[in-house]
Amino acid sequence: MVTAAVNAGVPAAWVAGDEVYGADPDLRRAVRASGLGYVLQIGANRQVPTGAGTHRVDELAASLPADAWQKRSAGTGSKGKRHYSWALIGIDAEHDADPDGAAHHLLIRRNDTTGELAYHRCYSPRPVSLARLVRVAGQRWRIEESFQAGKGLCGLDEHQVRRWTSWHRWTTLAMLTHAFLAVTTATERDRSPATAGLIALTVNEFRRLFDALLLATDHTIDTLLAWSRWRRRHQARARACHYRRRTQQ
């Protein structure tokens, strides 16, 4: 799929994925051959080559000094900025055919609240900063959130089919529906920005209003919009309280 996308001219610079994909050397090799970089999560028991020999990634993390960690945000989530501590360790190349200037790294993410660690094997055709790799890692979560939204809003996972053609048709229609909801919501945000005390119109809220206008017969448009403003006002208050609580902590 990655090779087909590159050959079709899809603009891309990175591939991101979870531990299933990070453990696949053939996938990593194919991504490098396509001229892309990757940030692929790997398990704590995985080993990587370094100048001092091959080591488990959790052992490398345990040997890091305190000043090796940098606090950075991996993007904005539903509850604000997702801040973690990150560390970057240079590792040896997997293949001698890498282009000049190519860089291999182990990227480690630490949740400072729970102490949980996550490990990412990284490659870039040219040297990049820690901030860039963190942004790529954060993009994977955004994509996963889009999949989750597609399932909840558009029935992306409700196909119940067993053949490629029927699955492909269902998925295409679900993605088209999701795109309609997202684009229309964004257009309405630009046309009618949220007033003070309201959160911006969300895709979920637009879907709720869209369904109500199509399916409900006992509510006027004014009533539906009034309920929508009430929900968005209470959501704005809840978000403000959450942000204050996080700031105090």
**3-state secondary structure labels for all residues of 13-52:** CEEEECHHHHCCHHHHHHHHHCCCEEEEEECCCCEEEECC
Q: Which residue has the higher pLDDT, 126 or 1?
A: 126
Token readout for 132 is 């860039």
The proportion of the chain whose per-residue pLDDT surpasses 70, expressed as a percent, equals 96
Q: Tell me which of 45 and 96 has the higher pLDDT.
A: 45
Distance CA 239, CA 144 (A): 22
Is 108 buried (19+), middle (13-18) or exposed (0-12) by CB count in 10 A? buried
**DSSP H or E stretch at residue 54:** strand 53-56
Give me the pLDDT at residue 217, please.
65
pLDDT band at 80 (very low <50, low <70, confident <90, very high): low
Q: Which of 95-109, 182-196, 226-240 has the lowest mean pLDDT?
A: 226-240
The answer, yes or no, to whether residue 173 has pLDDT greater than 90, is yes
Q: Is the pLDDT of residue 14 over 70?
A: yes
pLDDT at 78 over 60: no
Number of residues assigned to the chain: 249
Q: Do 28 and 15 form a contact (C-beta atoms < 8 A)? A: no
Mean pLDDT for 65-70 is 94
In this prediction the pTM is 0.74
pLDDT of residue 216: 66
The per-residue pLDDT for range 136-154, each reduced to its tens digit, is 998 888 888 888 999 999 9
